[in-house]
Amino acid sequence: MNTDSNHEIKSNKQYNPQMHSAEHILNQTMVRMFNCGRSFSNHIEKKKSKCDYYFDRNLTSEEIDLINLKVNEVIQQDLFVKEEFYLKEEAEKTFNLSRLPGDAGDKVRVIKIGEYDACPCSGLHVTHTKEIGTFRIISTDFKDGVLRIRFKLINE
Ligand SMILES: [Zn+2]
């Protein structure tokens, strides 16, 4: 564990493990539904977040409903979120490591959300998916080959 970077993350008030965990589930849902890549760029904040995907069009309202449904289905399963460490050369065979910081060392931390998703990540996450709350897409738009999804979490 790199405790220095953890401390940095925790001291950032905007950092929200619920939102961050929801991003992992949204990405896997997009990959499964559309066979696209995970978001190449995102902005994750407590109130609302956005993820950008390389795509060929905007989403229909039926597709948005289906994504909401699927992400919330995964959250409601209350899956266990755990970290596993892989040697970098092992991780490279399975994962895209290009978004990890260059100084990550020779071990790669992979976050697994039940059997649903596995993704290299150095951030902070919930331990069970129900902690995330209810996922809701606020809006989507499409421009120049990029689909942007804005979403929020509702916690009662
Ligand atoms: Zn993460």
**pLDDT one-digit tens code per residue, 71-112:** 999 999 999 999 999 999 898 888 888 777 766 678 999 999
Please tell me the distance between residue 9's alpha carbon and the centre of ligand 1 in angstroms: 12
Please tell me the distance between residue 122's alpha carbon and the centre of ligand 1 in angstroms: 6
Give CA–CA dist 133/13, Å, rounded.
19
Please name the residues in contact with 128: beta carbons below 8 A apart, sequence gap of 6 or more: 78, 79, 80, 81
pTM: 0.89
- In the chain, the percentage of residues whose pLDDT exceeds 70 is 88
DSSP code of 103?
T
Please tell me the distance between residue 124's alpha carbon and the centre of ligand 1 in angstroms: 6
Q: How confident is the model at residue 3 (pLDDT cuts 50, 70, 90)?
A: very low
